[in-house]
Amino acid sequence: MDDTSLVIECVKGDSRAQRMLFERFSKKMLGVCMRYAKSIEQAEDVLQDGFIKVFSKLNDFKHDGSLEGWIRRIMVNTSLDQIRKENKLLGNTSLDNVDYKLQNNAFVLENLAAKDLMKMVQSMPVGYKVVFNMFAIEGYSHKEISEHLGISENTSKSQYSRARAYLRERLEK
Give the pLDDT confidence of 142-169 residue by residue, as tens digits.
Answer: 999 988 888 899 999 999 999 989 888 8
Whose CA is closest to 161, among 124, 122, 112?
A: 124
* Residues 166 and 139 grouped into a single domain: yes
* Residues 79 and 108 grouped into a single domain: no
* Residues 41 and 81 grouped into a single domain: yes
CA–CA gap between residue 32 and residue 133 (Å, rounded):
9
Segment 71-77 long-range contacts (CB within 8 Å, at least 24 positions apart):
71/25, 71/29, 72/28, 72/29, 72/32, 72/138, 74/50, 75/29, 75/32, 75/33, 75/46, 75/47, 75/50, 76/32, 76/36, 76/133, 76/134, 76/138, 77/148
* Residues 117 and 75 grouped into a single domain: no
Domain end (from 70, 85, 100): 85
How many independent structural domains does the chain possess? 2
Which of 22-36, 47-61, 95-109, 148-162 has the lowest average pLDDT? 95-109
Residue 115's CATH number: 1.10.10.10
CB 100 within 8 A of CB 125: no
Q: pTM (2 decimals)?
A: 0.68
* Residues 167 and 127 grouped into a single domain: yes
Q: Is the pLDDT of residue 8 over 90?
A: yes
Domain end (from 85, 116, 138): 85
Residue 72's CATH number: 1.10.1740.10
Summary mean pLDDT of the chain: 83
* Residues 57 and 123 grouped into a single domain: no
Tens of pLDDT, residues 115-148: 777 788 888 888 888 899 899 888 899 999 988 8
Domain that holds residue 33: 3-85
* Residues 74 and 116 grouped into a single domain: no
